[in-house]
Chain A
């Protein structure tokens, strides 16, 4: 089947990466020698790698928390009946379809410290401006904000679909029994939405862990290493310093983390789906 051949186009580079991560392959010199776990041992001792891991995890936690939190609230709001519902929903999901790199450039324009509109608006309400992407302490938060801008509607949209597919009967029963609405939400809505919540977590966590476009387009990993995620770090190792073997080791570790996590989340999701259908 041709599909197998074309997907082999992925598997071959993939295997190539794994194999090469055990070599000291250098693009400039063109040499590659098998060095066993050398790259991985170097990785474990490399403070820059640990920094990149920390940045990646912080980025993921921050972005996913905002996206899930605000996404949930917006799904709730958009689900209430109102005039012009369709238009609201369309406007709401526009950012999802933007090229993330373009969104990053847009935000970069707005986050400019001197003429940027954000600092102007902050100043209007009497708050001090920020260095945003240029400040070593604010840069990570700024890229988290950009990711949240693009993907919050993704979470909101999926939550909305989940809320709209909720069965009616359990709620009618709860109303008859006179249960408080908080109790209904906690014991009925959350468990019923569990599969949808897990899907959002799965997609967002995986995407954030490997995030490259937004970070690279907005800060290129800087200032210093404040936004240096593992993907961006691997990019530098490979295309700036032509240290391919070492870059591959970064990527294989990242991929392993992603794979284990996604395996776990997919398992949880399957379980949740079968539980909900058991209702």
Chain B
């Protein structure tokens, strides 16, 4: 009796697990599949699970039509968009780290007036509708000539990554017992010495994880880039919309572009898996 129930449970468990894995993996598998099919295979019906793979879509997306000259493609300047994303996201992350580490430290260690209000304000940005910030930025940027520049973009993206970084790193600093610092101070270290020798080594993994998560958020951002960039500074995620009007013909290339765009986020995320729960909940749940 008991044994039977156990096997039934096992079967249900296996079925459930397979269904959930299909849910999360199948779309990725399928789009990858499309990205390595020829234009004829990709629109064939029934869809092909077995076919001769080709890297043509990737080379077309990455190198453009002029190089291959085989069939129609959109001139998207995909590599430049990719580079734009790299510039803007790294800029925003570096800026948020430079400003965010001291801010997080002081939020964790010192009491000052309005501290909790400041902290909650940071959090509430996470929940504000993006357009409420983006449209005024768009208007202001146009007026002061920031529209479509890397500086403007980095400033805008930083609005996204800085509150997040401060909030998350504050939690990491609070994990370090203040007694440790006091002990070091008594041993004769200066404040700066304590920060450098005690806090920084302990928090380094936390800072790295925060920086990577910020980078992913910036990379995944769509709306800021879509509205505030000019064609020359457009990041890669919003640039994908450029393929949409041609989707009927260019499925394989769209799939390839989508795969290239999501790759950096996914790879980085795997590295910092341990911090994902904590990062995605702004430190509310320590996974």
User: Does A40 have its Cβ within 8 Å of any Cβ on chain B?
Assistant: no
B122 touches A7 (CB 8 A): yes
Please choose the segment from A42-50, A101-109, A134-142, A171-179 that sits at the chain B interface, where 4 or more of its residues have CB less than 8 A away. Answer: A101-109
User: Closest 6 interchain pairs by CB?
Assistant: A13-B136, A3-B103, A97-B269, A99-B220, A161-B287, A210-B129
Q: Does B63 contact A (CB under 8 A)?
A: no
B244 beta carbon closer than 8 Å to chain A: yes
Cβ B25 vs Cβ A91 within 8 A? yes
Q: Does A6 contact B (CB under 8 A)?
A: yes
Taking CB atoms and an 8 Å cut-off, the chain A residues in 1-57 that contact chain B are 1-4, 6-7, 9-10, 12-14, 16-17, 20, 27
Chain B residues 105-142 with CB under 8 Å of chain A are 106, 118, 121-122, 124-137, 139-140
Check: B57 CB closer than 8 A to any chain A CB.
no
B-facing residues in A86-112 (Cβ within 8 Å): 88-103, 105-110
Where the two chains meet, the residues of B that have a C-beta atom closer than 8 Å to any C-beta of A are 13, 16-17, 20-21, 23-25, 27-28, 30-31, 34, 43-47, 95, 99-100, 102-103, 106, 118, 121-122, 124-137, 139-140, 155, 158-159, 162-163, 166, 216, 219-223, 227, 237-238, 240-241, 243-244, 247, 251, 254-255, 258, 261-262, 265-266, 268-270, 273, 276-277, 280-281, 284-287
By a CB distance below 8 angstroms, the chain A residues around B155 are 9
> Which of A74, A91, A117, A251 is close to B129, meaning CB atoms less than 8 Å apart?
A251
The reply to whether A234 and B131 contact each other, CB–CB distance below 8 Å, is yes
Closest to A92 in B: B24
Where the two chains meet, the residues of A that have a C-beta atom closer than 8 Å to any C-beta of B are: 1-4, 6-7, 9-10, 12-14, 16-17, 20, 27, 70, 73-74, 77-78, 80, 82, 88-103, 105-110, 114-115, 117, 120, 149, 152-154, 157-158, 161-162, 195-196, 199, 203, 206, 209-210, 212-213, 216-217, 230-231, 234-235, 238-239, 244, 247-248, 251-252, 254-255, 258-259, 262, 269
| Residues of the A chain whose Cβ atoms lie less than 8 Å from the Cβ of B140 | 13, 16
Give the nearest-CB partner of A218 in chain B. B244
Report yes or no: A258 in contact with B127, Cβ–Cβ below 8 A: yes
The answer to whether B20 touches A106 (Cβ under 8 A) is no
* Residue pair A199, B133 in contact (C-beta under 8 Å): no
Beta-carbon contact of B261 and A102 below 8 Å = yes
Selected A-B contacts with CB under 8 Å, 16 pairs: A1-B102, A2-B103, A6-B95, A9-B159, A17-B132, A78-B17, A91-B24, A97-B262, A101-B220, A103-B262, A105-B240, A105-B244, A106-B28, A230-B129, A251-B132, A262-B127
Docked-complex contact A115 and B159, CB < 8 angstroms: no
Q: How far is the CA of A262 from the CA of B219 in the complex (A)?
A: 26
CB distance from A148 to the nearest CB of B (A): 9
Give B126 Cβ to nearest chain A Cβ, in Å: 8
Contacts of A269 in B (CB 8 A): 284
B25, A94: Cβ atoms closer than 8 Å: yes
Taking A74-B20, A91-B25 as contacts, is the C-beta distance between A212 and B130 under 8 angstroms?
yes
Which of these, B24, B25, B128, B238, contacts A255 with CB under 8 Å?
B128
Contact (Cβ within 8 A) B127 A114: no
Decide if A93 touches B273 in the complex (CB within 8 Å): yes
A82–B31 Cα distance when bound, in Å, is 29
Q: What separation, in Å, do the CA atoms of A53 and B139 have in the docked complex?
A: 26
Task: Report the separation of the CA atoms of residues A161 and B277 in the bound assembly, to the nearest whole angstrom.
Answer: 7
For residue B162, which residues in chain A have a CB less than 8 angstroms away from its CB? 3, 6-7
B34 to chain A, nearest CB (A): 6
User: Could you say which of B129, B266, B276 contacts A231, with CB atoms under 8 Å apart?
Assistant: B129
Residues of the A chain whose Cβ atoms lie less than 8 Å from the Cβ of B158: 6, 9
Say yes or no: A157-B276 contact (C-beta < 8 A), given A106-B31, A107-B27, A114-B45.
Answer: yes
B265 contact set on A, CB distance < 8 A: 97-99
> Judging by beta carbons under 8 Å apart, are B247 and A3 in contact?
no
Question: Given A105-B258, A206-B127, A231-B131, is A91 in contact with B13 using a C-beta cutoff of 8 Å?
Answer: no
The contact of B136 among A16, A89, A209, A231, by CB within 8 Å, is: A16
Query: A117 near B23 (CB under 8 angstroms)?
Result: no
Q: Which of A100, A212, A216 has the most CB of B within 10 A?
A: A212
Contact of B240 among A4, A102, A259 (CB under 8 A): A102
CA of A210 to CA of B130, assembled, Å? 8
